[in-house]
Amino acid sequence: MRALFCYFSATGNTKKCIDLYQNYLSLSGVESDIHNIDDGKLEFNPEDYDMVFFAYPIHGFNAPENVLKFAKTLKKCKEKKRLIILKTSGEHLRINNISSYSLIRILKRRNYYLTNEYHYIMPYDIIFRHTDLMAYNMYEALKGLVPLDVKDILDNKIVKLKYMPFGHLLQIFMLIEHPGAKINGLFMHTNKNCISCGLCEKACPTKNIEIDEKGKVHFKHSCLMCTRCAFYCPKDAIVFGLFNSWKVNGKYSFQMPKEEEVDKHKRYCKNSYNRYFKIAEERIKNQK
């Protein structure tokens, strides 16, 4: 059996998830290949695989624009192809269930049929920085859940997220995030801390950043608002347009913190996080 992963991960969370998937599939004898949507053209032929995974971070209750664009470039499969969607996001609100509706529609026209969809909670790369403890707990939950979900997939168990009434309409409305990202991009610039290191230019998935011969950083018109440039900038020098106060800079360690942290957001979506961790804990415990 063979699996193909097509993924986009702006700041590494979704990549962490598919690395675990690839590892557990391999332990069960399933070979897989990975296509990073950043890299443009697909070098693999989906016809050669028994299942195709699409993995992405939820952006504005939707799949990012580049993921939808990539899906539209795929040819129609000759026979029905098994589709599995993996998505990560910063909170466990049920409204996030709608995020794949456009993607599923696009892929269905190309003969891909959804059998499984999983949503994992990972730390925010926008809005605010989760504490190290929260990021650690999220990753621990992910590590516990992935082997169970891989088992379900290999046992051909169908797992879909709960349908949201009027979700299709809401999801179409939410596509407003895509032009919104481009508008925000017009207001992005760098501050005096920029050292013209070129990292943001290299990292941008849409080649939206250019550094001129004087070392000045220019943002063009195809921003996805994916936050990668601002997240990884070593000098925290990017002013993230109209959403600058939501900027998160610097990788998460995903390690258990050595010292107690102040959690300024401990009340934020508290019940929904608790519910997610409780469900994860019970599933992991029951499996053992």
Ligand X SMILES: Cc1cc2nc3c(=O)[nH]c(=O)nc-3n(C[C@H](O)[C@H](O)[C@H](O)COP(=O)(O)O)c2cc1C
Q: Cβ closer to ligand X: 44 or 128?
A: 128
The structure tokens listed for 156 are: 């051909």
- Quick check: 65 binds ligand X (CB under 6 A)? no
Q: Cβ closer to ligand SF4: 141 or 237?
A: 237
- Quick check: 225 binds ligand X (CB under 6 A)? yes
Of 38, 42, 60, 283, the residue at the interface with ligand X (CB under 6 A) is 60
| Distance (Å, whole) CA 138 – CA 144 | 10
- Quick check: 184 binds ligand X (CB under 6 A)? no
- We find the least distance from the C-beta atom of residue 239 to ligand SF4, in angstroms, to be 9
- Quick check: 226 binds ligand SF4 (CB under 6 A)? yes
What DSSP assignment string belongs to 215-250? --EEE-S------HHHHH-TT--EE-GGGGGGB--S
- Quick check: 276 binds ligand X (CB under 6 A)? no
The structure tokens listed for 16 are: 């962490």
Of 3, 5, 6, 14, the residue at the interface with ligand X (CB under 6 A) is 14
- We find the least distance from the C-beta atom of residue 16 to ligand SF4, in angstroms, to be 19
- Quick check: 185 binds ligand X (CB under 6 A)? no
Strands 112-121 and 81-89: parallel
Contact 223, 179 (CB under 8 A): no
Residue type, 7: Y
The structure tokens listed for 76 are: 């129609």
Torsion, CA 178, CA 184, CA 186, CA 189, rounded to 10: -130
Residue type, 266: K
Say which entry of ligand SF4, ligand X, none residue 237 contacts (CB below 5 to 8 A, set by partner kind).
Answer: ligand SF4
Binding residues for ligand X, rule: CB under 6 A, are 9-14, 57-61, 88-91, 96, 122, 124-126, 225-227
